[in-house]
Structure 1
């Protein structure tokens, strides 16, 4: 797989932009683009130049989701190339910079920070940081919405869209339909299928759930479904939005699921030891002091688990505090591998 590694020590580490080309037609597609900063733009321009291309040559851009470290340069590339920008319909308004969608996201975040109990000082720090993030969001792009099951023919490659929400409402994996039989023969894997997975699973970190996209209802439940989906597809290899390829995707998905099972147990322990608490307090017991983007990711992660426990009838919510009402909890059943 041809990938350009983009500098970025924030947001889960180095970003990847994947290059798809058709040798016969010279069609060129990118999967994700990186943030809109001069350094990252140079990384991508130099990577394309080394392959004999420039921004103006890009025919299609496929975005795994709306986050700035994946979509930031899409508008600038489209302005130079008139490329088609594909993104899930849930994220398309944000890619287009729709003022109502942006305002709704920001208001939802403010409301949740309040109900999670985030104190004023860290809240102000976070909102100042997020204000600065706008500078790397890049120009809006005209988006072509896609949905689960949409098949794309880009850069000489057939991609099937697999909606994989949790980390983001519109996050999608893109299953590579070409060459699966050849890869199966080479690897011995019956599937031979590979996929671009964005931040659905990552090789080092566990993708944040709850704070990374506050639009997602029942974020942990949706993410667990995504992990089971990826494991069930039996991919031979997947290509994440950050760092190196994952050669055992099903194993990695189940490792992350087990991580969330353990975290659910930790959340229950906090409520047992300290009594009713809001998401910020639970987060403090789990993660300690937080700064930067973790001011939303920490309580967001706590919220995702508390919300799941509430829907399962294990905790009650009153005045923004969660109270344990069922003490004997089967974690294997609650966060299961089968759903």
Structure 2
């Protein structure tokens, strides 16, 4: 697969933009963040292949995050490219003011519920203000949904909705389905953040576990992530991440047993220590995703935004909370 490696020092490591081409069409899967050095990386990568932004016919976005979608608007302005993204993420890549306002309101509500101190919240919002500079130009987006097939760059890409890390995150199966672009659904080094990366997602860990099962069940030969190198054993990687979340839940149960009732900020401090920058929301967001999962499974209770054990950690059946068998076909 032809990929251009793009700079990224802030998130999960260097981004990938994938180039799909035939004699009649040129497409990109993801674009990188709207920063001058990243734009140069992408322009140089395309130039090495004999192209420029104006030649791009289609852009397929795995999700709305700025390190994947930031340059899409600039490319579209130069080329008139069609930009495809899942319908849940369309308002954010189009930079709808109402969608931005709703997301910020949800940020503030959750941070307060999670027990994040005011000084940490203000530090986070100062950091998030920088995102306005790297979100790039608005996009005229074409919405897609699970199961849609796109004919771009001489390839057929079938959308597989994969929420958890983001509400609209999609994997895209390539041609016969043996390989796929997976965005941040699975990554080769880090485990994608769940809970803080997109506060629009309800029941984030439950949704992400189903995404991991979908990827494992499809048993791809290879997948192409949004960051770093291709994943040669994607089923094993998906199950390893699932096991990571099972182990994290066990640690959270131990925190509640040792500490007593606690909010997500307190739990995240026990798990991750001091947090700064984007991790001020990623840390408690991850703790919240696990606590929320435990709450809906009846393992913990919640009162005044603090979670408490309903049973001893030793009596919790983590195998049933994080199954590795195929999900029932009736699961939504």
Confirm or deny a common fold (TM above 0.5): yes
Question: Equivalent residue for 1:318?
Answer: 303
Matched residue SS, 1:90: helix
Question: Equivalent residue for 1:189?
Answer: none
Alpha-carbon distance in structure 2 between the residues aligned to 1:262 and 1:208: 15
CA RMSD of superposed structures (Å): 0.7
Alpha-carbon distance in structure 1 between the residues aligned to 2:92 and 2:321: 34
The reply to whether residue 259 of structure 1 matches residue 244 of structure 2 is yes
Alpha-carbon distance in structure 2 between the residues aligned to 1:88 and 1:65: 7
The alpha-carbon deviation at position 72 of structure 1 amounts to: 0.1
The alpha-carbon deviation at position 36 of structure 1 amounts to: 0.2
Matched residue SS, 2:256: helix
TM-score, normalization by structure 2: 0.97
The alpha-carbon deviation at position 143 of structure 1 amounts to: 0.3
The reply to whether residue 121 of structure 1 matches residue 146 of structure 2 is no
Q: Report the number of matched residues.
A: 324
Q: Return 5+ residue gaps in structure 2 as ranges.
A: 328-332
Which residue among 314, 323, 327 is the counterpart of 1:336?
Answer: 323
Alpha-carbon distance in structure 1 between the residues aligned to 2:311 and 2:214: 29
The reply to whether residue 302 of structure 1 matches residue 287 of structure 2 is yes
Alpha-carbon distance in structure 1 between the residues aligned to 2:72 and 2:128: 20
Alpha-carbon distance in structure 2 between the residues aligned to 1:123 and 1:65: 25
Question: Equivalent residue for 1:82?
Answer: 80
Question: Equivalent residue for 2:263?
Answer: 278
Alpha-carbon distance in structure 1 between the residues aligned to 2:288 and 2:228: 27
Question: Equivalent residue for 1:187?
Answer: none
The alpha-carbon deviation at position 268 of structure 1 amounts to: 0.3
TM-score, normalization by structure 1: 0.95
Question: Equivalent residue for 2:40?
Answer: 42
The alpha-carbon deviation at position 334 of structure 1 amounts to: 1.2
Cα deviation code 1:47-84 (max 9, x no counterpart)? 00000000000000000000000000000000000000
Q: Return 5+ residue gaps in structure 1 as ranges.
A: 181-191
Alpha-carbon distance in structure 1 between the residues aligned to 2:211 and 2:278: 24
Matched residue SS, 1:251: helix
Cα deviation code 1:158-200 (max 9, x no counterpart)? 00000000000000000001xx4xxxxxxxxxxx700000000
Alpha-carbon distance in structure 2 between the residues aligned to 1:116 and 1:256: 24
Alpha-carbon distance in structure 1 between the residues aligned to 2:27 and 2:18: 8
Alpha-carbon distance in structure 2 between the residues aligned to 1:335 and 1:232: 15
Matched residue SS, 2:252: helix
Question: Equivalent residue for 1:221?
Answer: 206
Matched residue SS, 1:97: coil
The alpha-carbon deviation at position 296 of structure 1 amounts to: 0.3
